[in-house]
Structure 1
Amino acid sequence: AMAVASEQEMIASVEESRAALVEAEEEVPKATSDALASGKLGILDYYKLKNLQADTEMRRSIAATPSPVASPA
């Protein structure tokens, strides 16, 4: 019974962490907009950031794609 309760607590903790992550991710566009408007982030820096994000996403998608299995000839 203790193990089941502990497992349920861990599941709840994971869900709370996911909710906190979603809330934090929602603030990123607003913070980026504020930084651009206040001059703390230049347009070239913004483009570099977007390029880095796109590159990271591309690498993740390549890594997640299973490699084709070569058939014996």
Structure 2
Amino acid sequence: MVESNSIITVTWCIKEKSRPWKYCHIFAGIDEIKMSIREELFRIIGRDANGMADSLAKSGCFPSQMLFADW
């Protein structure tokens, strides 16, 4: 399951024709992962319901500083 508070990014993940060309390398990876799993679910969720992601986004988290957690 992928949750995001951005309607635009969820739409990009679901509808290939809506994606910006400059991010094609990122979506190629997402599409590869989507094909390797049986069931995919992209969901829009409010910022208040996803406090950790909202905090990281507000702090300007960079990939080199990312925290990965497995629940």
RCO higher in 1 or 2 (8 Å CA, sep ≥ 6)? 2
The structure having more radius of gyration, on CA atoms, is 1
Question: Which one has the bigger strand percentage?
Answer: 2
The normalised TM-score by structure 1 is 0.27
The normalised TM-score by structure 2 is 0.27
